[in-house]
Structure 1
Amino acid sequence: MKINPYQSIQSNPYRKQVEKQASTSETKMKKDEIQISKAALELQQSTKIDAARQEKVNELKEQIQSGNYKIDAQAIANKFYDYWNQ
């Protein structure tokens, strides 16, 4: 068996390729970008809230803060069931 010192483990081409990819990926980091549609911007800017809806929200907040709000697990399960079986 002949041992060739020129093809040693230190000159592994795979390792060089991985190191090259790691160094280039660090320098070219992509930034996140968000795009909001015109309809979403209009909804975001409009602050009109129904009085009845606001009253219901306030009632729920009061019940939660006082500790009187009870979750109806059966009603939630029924809503999930109806949604997924439509």
Structure 2
Amino acid sequence: MKINGPNQSNLNPYQKQIHKQAEAGLKKQPEDKVEISETAKQMQQSGKSESARAKLIEQVKEDVVTGNYRVDSKAAAKKMLNFWSK
């Protein structure tokens, strides 16, 4: 029995699959992109005034400790009504 005859082609289906997988791995994958919304940009910029806010917080803390802190109840009530009426 002759294994290598004149009409036999050298086909190896497993070898073809390996080449296809290698070619698929070489394809360039799309790059990731990050987009920052306008709201996020504003939030980043608002962090720059953090030192001014920290000073205000320290002042309020001192006023509370010394007993000099007073709340304007009418202004607070107006702001609450405006907030809840929206």
Per the TM superposition, whether the score is higher than 0.5 is no
In the superposition, the TM-score normalised over structure 2's length comes to: 0.42
In the superposition, the TM-score normalised over structure 1's length comes to: 0.42
**Between Structure 1 and Structure 2, whose CA radius of gyration is higher?**
2
